[in-house]
Amino acid sequence: MNIRDLVHSSPIIGLSLPNPGRNPAGTGTIRMPNTPKSVMSTPDSSNVPSRAGSPHSKQCYSRTASIVLIGMRGVGKTTLATIAATALGWEHIDTDEIFESREHKSIAAYIVELGWDAFRAVESQILHDLLTAYPTNKIIACGGGVVEPESNRLALQVFREHGIVVHVMREKDAVLKYLRECTHHPPFYHETAVEAWDRRVVWFRECSSFDFVSLTVDIPSAPEGSPETAITPEQTLALKPVEEEFFRLLRFIHGIDTNKVAVGPRTHRSYILCLTYKDVRDAVPVLDDLSQGIDMWEIRVDLLGSLDPTFLAFQVATLRRYSNLPILFTLRTVNQGGKYQDATDDTTALHSLLQYALRLGVEYLDLQATYPKNIFMDLVARKGNTSIIGSYHNWSGNISWTGQETRQIYETLVQLGSDILNITNVAKTWEDNMSLREFVSSVEKNGIPLIAVNMFAQGKISRALNTTLSHVCHPLLPYPASPGQISFVECQQILHFTGLLPARKFYVFGNPIGESMSPTLHNTAFATLGLPHSYELHETDSVDPLVEVLRNPSFGGASVTAPYRRDIMPYLMHVSRQAKIIGAVNNVTPIPGGFSGDNTDWRAIKTCILGSVTPANAVTASTTALIFGAGGTARAALYALYYIGVVNIFIYNRTKTNAQILADEFNKLDALFCIRVLDSLSIPLPIHPQPTIIISTVPATSNSPTGPIEVDVGLKLEHLSSRGGVAVELAYQRRVTKLLALAEKKKDQGWVSVEGIEFFLEQGYEQFKIFTGRRVPKKVIRAKVLEVYERNVAHELTS
């Protein structure tokens, strides 16, 4: 059977993956899913977990601690191990590969000859050896049945005291199909694959600290005539979502990026949307619309169609596949307005469900004040990097905000160790909202973020006035999660009408800026989110008139483009560290006492690179980049590359002196930096290894008597590495530039193109967030900007 047959018959295929950079020893195979995403069977909703396994109470791991992956055969452990090893520069170890290397025969042949017991004995010895010998800097992928012997389960439980053990899951139907067709192992001994799955899942959770769902992705077929062991660039690119989701979990575990919402007196208002679906996957078609304006998702577990742990894991995984917003895991009981049974003498199931939230690595966990105290405190002790929202909902309306009962509830939630408090009451009159604000004012000095709202129609205004994580609804939801909830847009309208959200004017400063797409981007975003602001062009011949605009009371912020990115800096009270290093600002906002400047170009470049680089070309210490140009945007590109870990950089510029000045300046920033200037674009380039990241910061066109003509920097097809890479174009005067055309010709070798309009969108998204504190509604904005952009480009080409 060749690779094309495998692609069409199996969700997991064995392929070799290049492993460049810091890990020459970390070679191995990569198993990739290929079947379309299947719908996981939904267990009966009454089937609550009895033994979900609890994460270690320590929940604190060294960043060098080895990572062990366990799970059923065919779920993608080797895929994750290889991706992680390449990105981390660690060695990837596969227990099955070690077994076959030691025994000099395949696992299937060994079992046929000597039996399963003999195989398990050798496998156990391999596991114990690895866990003992490699406590750090290794990714260890274990065979599906490694948890069968009790001694192995005990060894894994000991290892997770200091290392990370991840239980990897995938859609059951796809994996079972693979197991039926797999020839690497003989059939299961005296049982079916389904029986083995159901029996082992309890052991997997007993031995691991976290559950991770590696959702199946569609893998394109290899071209006709490809070698059986080769992996195509398209196939590695298809694995990008799996890579991003796995590293999101690892960054959270290690505390590198816990993906939290900024809350506090000096932060923007924040919002939560509760998904009131029985199955979150039903929300996928409208998820982008639902997310407009919000900062966090809430999964109301008590409203879901099942309480089975695997079902819950897939709910969280689905949200992570389609959104990077943090997740709040909430299990609301009947007496608190939910559907889960109130606590009884046996609270095992309740405790297990809440523990499972920590296993999934959710960013936030809601704990009711009505939960048994021992459960609440146990989860606070185990929370790791998860934030606890302590909550109380009074549905009876028998307590008031000015009464002692509310104060006692507040103090109880504080004493239990809540990171954020949520107290919800009933508004019987409009004046109850004023009492709420008085209570909030009286406890603000404590410094603990507080969500305080009233329910029902009389309490609607309290939801708009609440500043921290207000629960909002959306017309596309099946139903609101709580009576009296209003939408994000309605919140903004109320804030505007009450004077708490005054209309602001935003601008783009520069010259010439007549064809700027920024007004289209920002005005569309304002209208979509219901914000009362406006954005317009402000073109001047000098920087002096801009100062008067800054001082206008209605000034909300400005984008800054050439030639004022440096000229505006002396007028700013504060300039971000990144903008100082880059030496230019492209974003100005008012702050108390003056104005602040920042640079979003580098963030957009970083996003464009990381969103397009394949797992096969993950950034390592040996990654090389090539930049065209030596102006302000080239400076932003250098900083972006430095931020993501690329230190071997070459610059080519028409004026070599300017390029050398830029290289000398940035080389002083860090001893690791190695920036060199090319004299010419010779063939081959005097660069080793060849660059896998190429960024053009020069204009795509120049003016001539006959109209705009394409700028040709001299790049040739031979300059692009045969290993593939990312070509980023920062100019957007044309959709397809010379650089992108060359990259397209080498698409089959793994080159990915990023158009200049994509860079423009990304930097605009970043600016909008700085301007308003809100995430831009990307789907709507992108569609509108591309519509106008394509119309403008078509007009230019025909004029």
Total number of residues shown for the chain: 799
**Alpha-carbon distance values, 158 to 56, 66, 263 (Å):** 10, 13, 38
Q: How many domains does the chain have?
A: 4
Residue 569, number of CB atoms within 10 A of its CB: 18
Across 489-509, average pLDDT: 97
Q: How far apart are CA 177 and CA 193, in angstroms?
A: 10
Would you put residue 157 in left (φ > 0), alpha (ψ -120 to 50) or beta?
alpha
CATH for 533: 3.40.50.10860
Say what the pLDDT of residue 175 is.
83
**Residue type for 19, please?**
N
635 contacts 583 by C-beta, under 8 angstroms: yes
Q: Measuring CA to CA, which residue among 235, 180, 225, 238 is closest to residue 4?
A: 225
Say what the pLDDT of residue 794 is.
66
Q: How far apart are CA 480 and CA 144, in angstroms?
A: 42
Across 163-186, average pLDDT: 82
Q: Same domain, yes or no, for 473 and 416?
A: yes
Beta bridge partners of 367: 390
Say what the pLDDT of residue 42 is.
34
Residue 340 DSSP symbol: B
Say what the pLDDT of residue 40 is.
32
Q: How far apart are CA 175 and CA 754, in angstroms?
A: 34
Q: Same domain, yes or no, for 144 and 213?
A: yes
Average pLDDT, the chain: 87
549 contacts 558 by C-beta, under 8 angstroms: yes
Q: How far apart are CA 248 and CA 324, in angstroms?
A: 9
Reply yes or no on whether the pLDDT at 343 is more than 80.
no
Q: Are strands 138-141 and 67-70 parallel, antiparallel or unpaired?
A: parallel
Across 528-532, average pLDDT: 97
Query: Is 415 part of any domain?
Result: yes
Say what the pLDDT of residue 45 is.
35
Say what the pLDDT of residue 29 is.
30
Q: Same domain, yes or no, for 491 and 382?
A: yes
In tens, the pLDDT along 711-727 reads: 778 889 999 988 899 99
Query: Is 654 part of any domain?
Result: yes
Q: How far apart are CA 387 and CA 426, in angstroms?
A: 26
Across 57-70, average pLDDT: 84
Q: Same domain, yes or no, for 587 and 728?
A: no
Q: Same domain, yes or no, for 200 and 226?
A: yes
Beta bridge partners of 389: 366, 420
- Of 449, 464, 497, the position where a domain reaches its end is 497
Say what the pLDDT of residue 736 is.
87
Reply yes or no on whether the pLDDT at 90 is more than 70.
yes
Beta bridge partners of 274: 298
- Name the more confident of 204 and 231: 204
How would DSSP label each residue in 431-473?
HHHHHHHHHHHHHGGG---EEEEEESGGGHHHHHH--SSEEEB
Say what the pLDDT of residue 57 is.
43
Query: Cα Rg for the chain, rounded, in angstroms?
Result: 28
Indicate the helix (H) or strand (E) that contains 574. Answer: strand 574-575
Q: Same domain, yes or no, for 547 and 690?
A: no
In tens, the pLDDT along 669-692 reads: 888 899 999 999 998 888 888 999
Name the token pair of 246. Answer: 């796995």
Query: Is 762 part of any domain?
Result: no
**Alpha-carbon distance values, 432 to 11, 399, 437, 470, 483 (Å):** 58, 11, 9, 18, 16
Q: How far apart are CA 355 and CA 208, in angstroms?
A: 13
Reply yes or no on whether the pLDDT at 799 is more than 90.
no
Range of the domain at 707: 603-754
In tens, the pLDDT along 357-368 reads: 999 999 999 999
- Name the more confident of 761 and 224: 761
Place of tokens 């077929």: 221
pLDDT band, residue 91 (cuts 50/70/90): very high
- Of 497, 513, 538, the position where a domain reaches its end is 497
Q: Same domain, yes or no, for 563 and 643?
A: no
Say what the pLDDT of residue 44 is.
36
Rounded (10°) angle between helices 756-772 and 601-610? 130
Say what the pLDDT of residue 704 is.
55
In tens, the pLDDT along 629-679 reads: 999 899 999 999 999 999 999 999 999 999 999 999 999 988 889 999 999
Say what the pLDDT of residue 227 is.
52
Q: Same domain, yes or no, for 453 and 593?
A: no
Say what the pLDDT of residue 798 is.
52
Say what the pLDDT of residue 136 is.
96
Indicate the helix (H) or strand (E) that contains 143. Answer: none
Q: How far apart are CA 182 and CA 143, in angstroms?
A: 14
In tens, the pLDDT along 132-156 reads: 999 999 999 999 999 999 999 999 9
Q: Are strands 387-393 and 701-702 parallel, antiparallel or unpaired?
A: unpaired
Query: Is 488 part of any domain?
Result: yes
Name the token pair of 16. Answer: 């070799």
Reply yes or no on whether the pLDDT at 265 is more than 80.
yes
Query: Is 263 part of any domain?
Result: no
Say what the pLDDT of residue 233 is.
66
Reply yes or no on whether the pLDDT at 434 is more than 50.
yes
Q: How far apart are CA 635 and CA 614, in angstroms?
A: 25
Q: What contacts 544, CB < 8 A, 6 or more positions away?
A: none
Reply yes or no on whether the pLDDT at 789 is more than 60.
yes
Name the token pair of 605. Answer: 């470049």
| Helix, strand and coil percent figures for the chain, each rounded to 5 | 40, 15, 40
Query: Is 433 part of any domain?
Result: yes
Say what the pLDDT of residue 16 is.
26
Q: Same domain, yes or no, for 127 and 199?
A: yes
Say what the pLDDT of residue 607 is.
96
In tens, the pLDDT along 17-40 reads: 223 233 323 333 323 222 223 323
3-class secondary-structure state, position 794? helix
Greatest Cα pair distance in the chain: 87
Q: Same domain, yes or no, for 542 and 577?
A: yes
Least confident of 156-160, 592-596, 748-752: 748-752
353 contacts 331 by C-beta, under 8 angstroms: yes
Q: Same domain, yes or no, for 437 and 385?
A: yes
Percentage of the chain modeled with pLDDT above 90: 72
Q: How far apart are CA 555 and CA 542, in angstroms?
A: 19
Say what the pLDDT of residue 514 is.
87
Q: How far apart are CA 212 and CA 222, in angstroms?
A: 28
Say what the pLDDT of residue 53 is.
42
Say what the pLDDT of residue 621 is.
85
The whole-model pTM stands at 0.88
Reply yes or no on whether the pLDDT at 601 is more than 50.
yes
For 660, counting Cβ atoms within 10 Å of its Cβ (0-12 exposed, 13-18 middle, 19+ buried), the class is middle
Say what the pLDDT of residue 226 is.
56
Percentage of the chain modeled with pLDDT above 70: 88
3-class secondary-structure state, position 588? strand
Q: How far apart are CA 18 and CA 394, in angstroms?
A: 58
Indicate the helix (H) or strand (E) that contains 213. Answer: strand 210-213
In tens, the pLDDT along 4-14 reads: 222 222 222 22
138 contacts 66 by C-beta, under 8 angstroms: yes
Say what the pLDDT of residue 30 is.
29
Across 569-587, average pLDDT: 95
- Of 497, 521, 553, the position where a domain reaches its end is 497
252 contacts 209 by C-beta, under 8 angstroms: no
Residue 748, number of CB atoms within 10 A of its CB: 12
Q: How far apart are CA 764 and CA 768, in angstroms?
A: 6
Q: Same domain, yes or no, for 14 and 149?
A: yes
How would DSSP label each residue in 477-527?
SSS-SSTT--BHHHHHHHHHHTTSS---EEEEEESS-TT-SHHHHHHHHHH
pLDDT band, residue 708 (cuts 50/70/90): low
691-707 CB burial, b ≥16 within 10 A, e <16: bbbbbbbbbbeeeeeee
CATH for 658: 3.40.50.720
Reply yes or no on whether the pLDDT at 191 is more than 70.
no
Residue 13, number of CB atoms within 10 A of its CB: 23
Reply yes or no on whether the pLDDT at 241 is more than 70.
yes
Query: Is 435 part of any domain?
Result: yes
Would you put residue 792 in left (φ > 0), alpha (ψ -120 to 50) or beta?
alpha
CATH for 77: 3.40.50.300
Say what the pLDDT of residue 706 is.
59
**Residue type for 228, please?**
E
Query: Is 325 part of any domain?
Result: yes
